[in-house]
């Protein structure tokens, strides 16, 4: 079998005004849908970062991809890496401290390869009549749990005013509890993550305490301020939340850099507080895992097939974390159903992935979904591996065309949360790390 065509679809999807230490989400999130056709009529699909940069990087690999055997993934990776390096890319070195995952120019080839690998695995699954999780080694679980991913947010739905504001303004502890109740009732999530780094730390501590009071000990809690706190503030928050973040919860990227996180962990331990630190900002490549372990900076690594280099690399990461006695969770960004199924398939095939995965899916709108049959269902907070070959989703081409039209109508081609924050919330806002 040979790949006969690479089709790239740039789409825009409504995104509510969610806040983080990066700033504010724009009314539209950008995604790229990758579709590979083969000479045997089988098509494979994947979803990745949107806008100009990620698309151009995929375009640049067209001649490497078309004509290849989709089973030969190691060879494809070698070719993509070789071409990227020949074009001047320096592999590695991509901390996410300042830039959101899709906008980091470093190590782009891993994200490009990931998008192509996932589409090839979809083809392979369809060719052999098996779900992708079976193709990559077999499932460790039939259903993959996800967490309720809470955000502080400005009032307003996604898009330019045409989308419902399901959760209204969330800028206080009470409003976050309401948001969580709504999300848990609708999706059945059993673990809770709060995106922090937005309000004064004391207010975020109060939010976590209010969530614990409302949901009790059976719902592990995590907070992720994306490096907004100094070492001292991180320690103060760790102390204030010693009970709330225990029992399967964690403190994610409290401050910038592995050295800082190592210091936080050491000083918390010296006070008898054994809170686990997690990271998707300071640990973004294999070499970081070893440094993080040596510094005692990170106990739980957040994987993500979109930037760790695809599904098989996430499995390698899972094994490495198991060997190093570190935990494994999964990171997300605004996404639709194709990404959700890729995350689900790989999570099912990672025995060591025991934390509920992040997902932004509840924040996206039903009317933007591009897979046939509409939104992927959650049962008791989990997505089940469908009894279908490949990823288990088929593109709805009318919906995809609507996504492309939305993309053509808007002018921006790059995620810039800082600019959005200045436009809509505070004209003088700057990203400052650490802020508190
Ligand atoms: O969507 O604003 C967001 C998140 O902050 C995202 O960009 C992060 O990459 O969710 C992510 C995280 O866990 O750091
Ligand atoms: Mg994070």
Distance 1 CA to ligand 1 centre (A): 38
Over the stretch 28-53, which tens digit does the pLDDT of each residue have?
Answer: 999 999 999 999 999 999 999 999 99
C-alpha–C-alpha distance, residues 348 and 28, integer Å? 30
Distance 329 CA to ligand 2 centre (A): 10
Q: What is the pTM of this model?
A: 0.97
Q: Which of 16, 331, 358 to mutate to test the pocket of ligand 1 (most atoms within 8 A of CB)?
A: 331
Distance 217 CA to ligand 1 centre (A): 25
pLDDT at 105 over 80: no
CB of 1 within 8 A of CB of 351? no
Distance 69 CA to ligand 1 centre (A): 35
pLDDT level of residue 94 (50, 70, 90 thresholds): low
pLDDT at 98 over 90: no
- % of the chain surpassing 70 pLDDT: 99
| Location of structure tokens 């690998």 | 117
Q: Which of 77, 195, 306, 360 is catalytic?
A: 195
Whole-number pLDDT of residue 55? 97
Q: What is the mean pLDDT of residues 198-210?
A: 98
Distance 70 CA to ligand 1 centre (A): 31
Whole-number pLDDT of residue 106? 80
Look at ligand 1, atom 14, and give the residue with the nearest C-alpha: 226
Over the stretch 357-371, which tens digit does the pLDDT of each residue have?
Answer: 999 999 999 999 999
Look at ligand 1, atom 2, and give the residue with the nearest C-alpha: 20
Closest ligand 1 atom number to CA of residue 101: 9
Beta-bridge partner residues of 37: 5, 43
Q: Which of 20, 252, 301, 431 to mutate to test the pocket of ligand 1 (most atoms within 8 A of CB)?
A: 20
Number of Cβ within 10 Å of residue 243's Cβ equals 14
Whole-number pLDDT of residue 99? 80
Choice among 158-167, 207-216, 231-240, 346-355 with the minimum mean pLDDT: 158-167
Closest ligand 1 atom number to CA of residue 253: 14
| Location of structure tokens 């790059």 | 414
347: nearest Cα among 144, 176, 147, 97: 144
User: What DSSP string describes 324-362?
Assistant: TT-EEEE---S--HHHHHHHHHHHHT-TTB-SPBP--GG
Closest ligand 1 atom number to CA of residue 18: 2
Give the HSE-up count for residue 52: Cα atoms under 13 Å, Cβ half-sphere. Answer: 7
pLDDT at 102 over 90: no
Distance 333 CA to ligand 2 centre (A): 10
Closest ligand 1 atom number to CA of residue 281: 14
C-alpha–C-alpha distance, residues 255 and 105, integer Å? 22
Q: Which of 153, 193, 331, 360 is catalytic?
A: 331
Distance 422 CA to ligand 1 centre (A): 19
Which residues have CB under 6 Å of ligand 1? Answer: 18, 20, 22, 100-101, 195, 224, 226, 280, 331, 333
Mean pLDDT of the chain: 96
Does residue 316 have an active-site annotation?
A: no
Q: Which of 30, 31, 51, 101 to mutate to test the pocket of ligand 1 (most atoms within 8 A of CB)?
A: 101
Whole-number pLDDT of residue 97? 72
Choice among 63-72, 93-102, 317-326 with the minimum mean pLDDT: 93-102
| Location of structure tokens 């193709």 | 135
Look at ligand 1, atom 13, and give the residue with the nearest C-alpha: 331
Look at ligand 1, atom 8, and give the residue with the nearest C-alpha: 333
Pick the ligand that lies closest to the CA of residue 151.
1
Does residue 195 have an active-site annotation?
A: yes
Q: Which of 22, 111, 146, 357 to mutate to test the pocket of ligand 1 (most atoms within 8 A of CB)?
A: 22
Tokens, residue 239: 């102390």
Distance 204 CA to ligand 1 centre (A): 17
420: nearest Cα among 52, 25, 152: 25
Over the stretch 279-317, which tens digit does the pLDDT of each residue have?
Answer: 999 999 999 999 999 999 999 999 999 999 999 999 999
Query: What's 166's DSSP letter?
Result: S
Pick the ligand that lies closest to the CA of residue 19.
1
């Amino acid at each position: 079998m040979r790949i006969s065509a690479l089709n790239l679809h740039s789409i825009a999807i409504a995104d509510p005004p969610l806040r983080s230490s990066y700033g504010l989400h724009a009314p539209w999130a950008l995604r790229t849908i990758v579709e590979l056709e083969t000479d045997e009529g089988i098509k494979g699909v994947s979803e990745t970062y949107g806008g100009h940069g990620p698309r151009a990087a995929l375009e640049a690999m067209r001649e490497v991809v078309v004509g290849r055997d989709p089973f030969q993934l190691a060879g494809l990776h070698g070719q993509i890496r070789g071409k990227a390096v020949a074009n001047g890319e320096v592999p590695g070195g991509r901390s996410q401290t300042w830039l959101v995952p899709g906008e980091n120019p470093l190590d782009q080839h891993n994200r490009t390869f990931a998008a192509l690998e996932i589409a090839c695995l979809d083809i392979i699954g369809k060719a052999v009549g098996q779900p992708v999780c079976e193709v990559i080694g077999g499932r460790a679980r039939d259903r993959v749990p996800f967490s309720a991913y809470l955000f502080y947010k400005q009032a307003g739905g996604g898009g330019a005013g045409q989308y419902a504001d399901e959760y209204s303004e969330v800028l206080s502890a009470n409003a976050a509890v309401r948001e969580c109740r709504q999300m848990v009732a609708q999706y059945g999530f059993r673990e809770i993550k709060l995106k922090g780094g937005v309000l004064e730390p004391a207010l975020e501590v109060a939010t976590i305490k209010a969530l614990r009071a409302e949901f009790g000990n059976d719902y592990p809690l995590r907070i992720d301020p994306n490096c907004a706190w100094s070492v001292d503030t991180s320690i103060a928050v760790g102390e204030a939340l010693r009970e709330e973040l225990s029992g399967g919860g964690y403190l994610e990227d409290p401050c910038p850099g592995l050295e800082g996180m190592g210091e936080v962990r050491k000083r918390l331990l010296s006070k008898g507080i054994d809170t686990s630190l997690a990271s998707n900002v300071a640990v973004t490549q294999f070499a970081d895992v070893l440094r993080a372990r040596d510094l005692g900076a990170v106990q739980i690594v957040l994987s993500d097939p979109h930037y760790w280099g695809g599904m098989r690399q996430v499995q390698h990461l899972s094994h490495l974390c198991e060997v190093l006695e570190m935990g494994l969770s999964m990171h997300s960004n605004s996404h639709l159903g194709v990404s959700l199924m890729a995350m689900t398939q790989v999570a099912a095939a990672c025995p060591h992935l025991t934390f509920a995965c992040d997902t932004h899916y509840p924040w996206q709108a039903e009317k933007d979904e591009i897979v046939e049959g509409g939104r992927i269902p959650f049962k008791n907070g989990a997505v089940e591996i469908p009894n279908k070959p490949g990823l288990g989703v088929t593109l709805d081409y009318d919906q995809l065309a609507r996504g492309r039209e939305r993309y053509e109508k808007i002018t921006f081609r790059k995620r810039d949360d800082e600019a959005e924050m200045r436009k809509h919330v505070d004209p003088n806002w700057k990203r400052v790390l650490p802020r508190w």
